Amino acid sequence: MNESMLSPIQDRRYLIPFRSQLLPSIFTETLVIGSGVAGLRAALAAAEHGDVILLAKDEFEKTNTAWAQGGIAASLAEDDCAADHARDTFAAGASLCEPSTVETLVAEGPREIERLTEIGMRFDRDATGAFELAREGGHGRRRIVHADGDATGRELSRALLAACRADPRIRLFEKCFALDLVTGGTSERGEDRVLGAMTHHPKYGLQLVWARATVLASGGMGQLWRETTNSRIATGDGVAMAWRAGATVADLEFVQFHPTALYVAGAARSLISEAVRGEGAHLVDRTGRRFMEGRHALGELAPRDIVSRGIVEHLAQTQDPNVFLDARSLGTAGFRARFPGLARLLEGYGIDPGTTPIPVMPAAHYTIGGVWTDLHGATGVPGLYACGEVACNGLHGANRLASNSLLEGLVFGRRAGVAAATADAPPRANMRVVSDIRPSDKGELDLVDVRSSLRSAMWRNVGIVRTGNRLADALDMIHFWCRYSLDKIFDDPAGWEIQNMLSCAALVTTAARARQESRGTHTRADFPTERSDERVRRLWRIAQASALVRAVREPTETHATHAAGRA
Ligand code: SIN
């Protein structure tokens, strides 16, 4: 990996020119960017120590969190334990999980579920009042709490938002796009600090939100791929703006492709929850054959990377466009009772899952990599914290265990919120910050065309199965588009999103080229096996010629045992 591979995204500090003294200013102690589970949880935690502003790029509920179906994994059953949850997380993560991060998640997870109950989240429970627990891929047992059958995210979002709205120390701003983190001043170590963010609101225009500390919780980048289960807002803005501000990013080659997105021509690739397979549905091909049998001991409930690859390989053999999820064993009424939202969705396409197998295909689902943080969300850039999908603390390793992401948002959102709100920082102040970039005079850009060409190229060349040649072709294309796009100055989110998506695409593809092995979600047809010398993570930072390579420690029994003791 050399400098030139990232050079098109090395030299732009801000997306637009500005002079801070000329812009309206708003002040807060802690700024949280993002209204998914991690952002809302961070805001609640930070508000125990001071005032908070939370920004949502769109409406508050337009997040991947609100769309989540399956649920939240936590060891809550009498006969379950944190050590078992840790073991399943390590197994899915293909030897790249950070042991202390996993230990923290499984130890603190159950308490976070309790807190949700305290703030009024309504989980599905059985007649005795105990949590109904679902099973998903990679879990050795039923461990997933859920709400309204398949609408866990909606209920989680409702409960957390209600708690934030009820807290007088939290101000919530909707449809407020964060363009860039503003940096300046000097920290004790002589580095620039993050002083807040430049924002854009359709009614109020550009504003500066100054904060003692900023928590990025802006979600992932699933919109980079043509086939995706993600909400339209998932354009990688957080990773791109943190990169421009000098933060380190890691693990971006690892992108989780969910095995079962609805495959109906012209329809959005809606997620068909893994919990459907957990209730006994099978993957079959056009002839009714269960092609996952024999590929893994857990069959269709193997970790997602294995199932997604199994589907793609089977489709390559059969030349079929899709496979099917056969949920007929649940019956029409049974399916509707357990998965009411999905039943309604499928009904809209004339599919009764009680009588007809559901056409499905894998689609991009979750960004495993992101802004590199410690266990408290600290990014290494003074004043900047990150949590949730935008962040990477090594929890998921090379492949995320199903339903660990909402739990991650809760556990590490709380930690980041506390750390941000209690960190030593100079008093909030507006400073003189100037961005004097000039517009380029290169021709007009067709934003719709660039967006759709980029998404197709990422799906074709940086998708489930990759090769060095195709990654190189993709990088050439991305660099070409970067040259024509990154030096432009746009005045609304459509242009800024494209610039962020291109920067993220360059980072993902560069990281995927660097990893010359197959591990977890990253499959290289030209390097088909895991390599012991690649049991590392690469840390990338702007203006650095190459990645810093960091070895990953082996989990020991002690990690699981500690986790069990503390839960
Ligand atoms: C699902 O319901 O299958 C998605 C859950 C997750 O992504 O963890």
pLDDT score of 2: 47
Residue 85 falls inside a structural domain:
no
Mutate to test the pocket of ligand 1, among 136, 408, 521 (most ligand atoms within 8 A of CB): 136
Residue 68 Cα to ligand 1 midpoint, Å, equals 6
Task: Look at the block and give the residue holding tokens 């992932």.
Answer: 220
Same domain, 60 and 202: yes
Give the Cα separation of 386 and 404 in Å (integer).
Answer: 17
557 burial class (0-12, 13-18, 19+ CB within 10 angstroms)? exposed
Residue span of the structural domain in which 460 resides: 3-11+444-551
Residue of 64, 270, 273 to mutate, ligand 1, most atoms within 8 A of C-beta: 273
- 308 closest CA partner among 366, 372, 247, 353: 366
User: What's the CA gap between 255 and 533, in Å, rounded?
Assistant: 21
**The predicted structure's pLDDT at residue 560:** 53
Contacts of 35 (CB under 8 A, 6+ apart): 54, 55, 56, 60, 61, 63, 161, 172
CA distances (Å), origin 377, targets 107, 418, 551: 17, 10, 20
Q: What's the mean pLDDT when you consider all of the chain?
A: 93
- Looking from the CA of residue 274, the nearest atom of ligand 1 is 3
> How high is the pLDDT of residue 58?
96
Going from the Cα of 220 to the center of ligand 1, the distance in angstroms, rounded, reads 15
Pairing of strands 548-551, 536-541: antiparallel
Residue 385 inside a domain? The answer is yes
In this structure, is residue 101 part of a structural domain?
no
- How far is the centre of ligand 1, averaged over its atoms, from the C-alpha of 273 (Å)? 6
CA distance 239 to 203: 26
Whether residue 395 is found in the same domain as residue 482 = no
Residue having the nearest C-alpha atom to atom 6 of ligand 1: 403
**Shared-domain flag, residues 462 and 358:** no
The CATH number of residue 393's host domain is 3.50.50.60
With the most atoms of ligand 1 within 8 angstroms of its CB, the residue from 258, 262, 277 to mutate is 258
Distance 408 CA to ligand 1 centre (A): 13
Mutate to test the pocket of ligand 1, among 150, 155, 257, 271 (most ligand atoms within 8 A of CB): 271
- CA angle at residue 451 from 473 to 273, to 5 degrees? 95
> Strands 72-73 and 144-145: what pairing?
antiparallel
**Cβ contacts of 158 within 8 Å, gap of 6 or more:** 61, 121
Nearest-angstrom CA–CA distance, 129 and 388? 30
- Residue 300 shares a structural domain with residue 206: no
Q: Are residues 390 and 484 in the same domain?
A: no
Rounded to an integer, what distance in angstroms lies between the CA atom of residue 430 and that of residue 317?
A: 61
Same domain assignment for residues 266 and 355: yes
**Candidates 228, 366, 403, 407: which one to mutate for ligand 1, based on the most atoms within 8 Å of Cβ?**
403
Residue 566 has what pLDDT? 36
Residue 354: inside a domain: yes
Q: Among residues 322, 346, 364, which one ends one of the domains?
A: 364
**Vertex 271: Cα angle to 452 and 317 (nearest 5):** 75
344 and 286 co-located in one domain: yes
Is residue 72 within 8 Å of 142, Cβ to Cβ?
no
pLDDT in tens, 425-472: 876 666 889 998 887 766 778 999 999 999 999 999 999 999 999 999
Ligand 1: distance of its center to the CA of 167 in Å?
30
Atom of ligand 1 nearest to the CA of 406: 8
The CATH number of residue 300's host domain is 3.90.700.10
- The candidate with the shortest Cα–Cα distance to 63, out of 206, 241, 200, 235, is 235
Q: State pLDDT tens for residues 216-242.
A: 999 999 999 999 999 999 999 999 999
Last residue of a domain, one of 364, 383, 404: 364
Give pLDDT, residue 442. 66
327 in the same domain as 286: yes
CATH number of the domain that residue 502 is part of? 1.20.58.100
User: What residues line ligand 1, using a CB cutoff of 6 Å?
Assistant: 69-70, 271, 273-275, 402-403, 405
Q: How far is CA 508 from CA 361, 382, 512, 538, in A?
A: 22, 25, 6, 12
Residue 357 shares a structural domain with residue 371:
no
In-domain check, residue 43: yes
- Whether 458 and 545 map to the same domain: the answer is yes
Torsion of the alpha carbons at 227, 232, 235 and 236, rounded to the nearest 10 = -100
Model pLDDT, residue 487: 86
Number of domains in the chain: 3
One-letter amino acid for residue 543 of the chain: A
At 565 the pLDDT is 42
Going from the Cα of 168 to the center of ligand 1, the distance in angstroms, rounded, reads 33
CA-closest candidate to residue 86, choices 550, 480, 427, 401 = 401
Q: pLDDT at position 1, please? A: 44
| Amino acid (1-letter code) at residue 140 | G
> Phi, psi (5° rounding) for residue 258?
-75, 135
Q: What pLDDT is stored for residue 11 in this prediction? A: 74
Of ligand 1's atoms, which has the minimum distance to the CA of residue 260? 3
Centre of ligand 1 from the C-alpha of residue 206, in Å? 36
Atom of ligand 1 nearest to the CA of 405: 8
List the strands of the sheet with 72-73, edge to edge: 72-73, 144-145, 133-134
Positions annotated as catalytic residues are: 304
Structure tokens at 116: 């949700």
The token pair that represents 218 in the structure block: 């802006």
Q: What pLDDT shows up at residue 209?
A: 97
Whether residues 247 and 165 fall in one domain: yes
Q: Is residue 237, in this structure, part of any structural domain at all?
A: yes
Could you identify the atom of ligand 1 that is nearest to the CA of residue 70? 2
Q: Would you tell me how many other CB atoms lie within 10 Å of the CB of residue 333?
A: 10
Q: SS3 of 457, please?
A: helix
Ligand 1 atom index nearest CA of 404: 8
The protein residue whose alpha carbon is closest to atom 8 in ligand 1 is 403
Tokens of 93: 């993560």
Report the nearest atom of ligand 1 relative to the CA of 400.
8
Atom of ligand 1 nearest to the CA of 366: 7
**HEC states along 178-240?**
EEEEEEECCCCCCCCEEEEEEEEECCCEEEEEEEEEEEECCCCCHHHCCCECCCCCCCCHHHH
Domain-embedded: residue 26: yes
Domain end point (choices 328, 343, 364): 364
pTM of the model: 0.94
Distance from the CA of 149 to the center of ligand 1, in angstroms? 13
Query: Ligand 1 centroid to 472 CA: how many Å?
Result: 31
Compute mean pLDDT per 10 residues along the chain, 567 residues long, and list them: 61 91 95 98 98 97 93 95 96 95 97 98 96 92 95 97 98 98 78 94 96 97 97 96 97 97 91 93 96 89 90 95 97 96 96 97 97 98 97 97 97 98 80 85 83 97 97 96 90 95 97 97 97 94 86 71 41
The verdict on 260 and 392 lying in the same domain is: no
User: Is residue 459 a part of any domain in this protein?
Assistant: yes
Q: What does the alpha-carbon distance between residue 480 and residue 470 come to, in Å, rounded to a whole number?
A: 15
Q: Please tell me the distance between residue 340's alpha carbon and the centre of ligand 1 in angstroms.
A: 16
Q: Residue 81: CB partners within 8 Å, gap ≥ 6?
A: 75, 564, 567
